[in-house]
A = this chain, B = another copy of it.
Amino acid sequence: MIRIALDAMGGDGAPAPEVDGAVLALRELPSDFELILVGREPDIEARLLRHRDVDRSRLRIVPAPDVIGMAERPLAAVRKKPNSSLVVGLNLHRTGEVDAFISAGNTGATLAGATILLGLHDGVDRAAVASPFPAVKGTVLVVDAGANVDCTSKELVNFARLGTVYMRDLMGVAEPKVGLLNIGEEDEKGGTVIRETHMLLKRQPRIRYVGNIEGRDIVVPHPSHGQVDVVVCDGFVGNVVLKFYESMGGLVTELIRRESPALLESRELQPLRHFLDPSTYGGGPLLGVRGVAIICHGASTSIAIQNAIQRAVDSVRNGLSAHTAAEMALYEAPATV
Comparing A59-67, A250-258, A286-294, A319-327, the segment that makes contact with chain B is: A250-258
Q: Which residues of chain B are near A245, meaning CB under 8 Å?
A: 215, 244
User: Chain A 257-282 against B: per-residue CB contact (8 Å), 1 yes, 0 no?
Assistant: 00110110010110110010000000
Partner of A239, one of B149, B183, B260, B262: B183
Measured in the bound complex, the distance between the Cα atoms of B239 and A236 in whole Å is 14
Q: Is the CB of B271 within 8 A of A235?
A: no
Does A186 have its Cβ within 8 Å of any Cβ on chain B? yes
Does A243 have its Cβ within 8 Å of any Cβ on chain B? yes
Partner of A214, one of B240, B254, B275: B240
Q: Is the CB of A250 within 8 A of B215?
A: no
Interface residues on A, range: 35 or more
Q: Is the CB of B272 within 8 A of A268?
A: no
Partner of A272, one of B244, B250, B255, B266: B255
Q: Is the CB of B246 within 8 A of A272?
A: no
Q: Is the CB of B186 within 8 A of A71?
A: yes
Whether A259 contacts B237 in the complex (CB less than 8 A), given A149-B191, A244-B244, A254-B136, comes out as: no
Q: Is the CB of A247 within 8 A of B215?
A: yes
Whether A136 contacts B191 in the complex (CB less than 8 A), given A244-B215, A244-B245, comes out as: no
- Across the interface, name the chain B residue whose C-beta is closest to A188: B73
Shortest Cβ gap from A131 to chain B (Å): 12
Whether A241 contacts B244 in the complex (CB less than 8 A), given A260-B271, A269-B263, A272-B260, comes out as: yes
Shortest Cβ gap from A19 to chain B (Å): 27
Whether A255 contacts B275 in the complex (CB less than 8 A), given A149-B183, A244-B244, A245-B244, comes out as: yes
Within 8 A of B (CB), among A180-214: 181, 183, 186, 190-191, 194, 214
- Give the secondary structure class of A's interface: helix
Q: Is the CB of B269 within 8 A of A242?
A: no
Q: Which residues of chain B are near A243, meaning CB under 8 Å?
A: 214-216
Q: Which residues of chain B are near A272, meaning CB under 8 Å?
A: 252, 255-256, 259-260
Whether A239 contacts B215 in the complex (CB less than 8 A), given A149-B183, A245-B244, comes out as: yes
Measured in the bound complex, the distance between the Cα atoms of B268 and A269 in whole Å is 11
Partner of A260, one of B241, B244, B268: B268
Measured in the bound complex, the distance between the Cα atoms of B256 and A254 in whole Å is 17
Partner of A246, one of B191, B216, B240, B269: B216
Q: Which residues of chain B are near A244, meaning CB under 8 Å?
A: 215-216, 218-219, 241, 244-245
Q: Which residues of chain B are near A248, meaning CB under 8 Å?
A: 248
Q: Which residues of chain B are near A241, meaning CB under 8 Å?
A: 215, 240-241, 244
Does A163 have its Cβ within 8 Å of any Cβ on chain B? no
Q: Which residues of chain B are near A239, meaning CB under 8 Å?
A: 183, 214-215
Does A220 have its Cβ within 8 Å of any Cβ on chain B? yes
Binding site for B on A (CB under 8 A): 71, 136, 146, 149-150, 181, 183, 186, 190-191, 194, 214-220, 233, 235-237, 239-248, 250-252, 254-256, 259-260, 262-263, 266, 268-269, 271-272, 275
Ordered by A's residue number, 11 sampled pairs between the chains whose C-beta atoms are within 8 Å are A146-B183, A181-B240, A183-B236, A194-B236, A215-B246, A248-B248, A259-B272, A260-B269, A260-B271, A260-B272, A263-B269
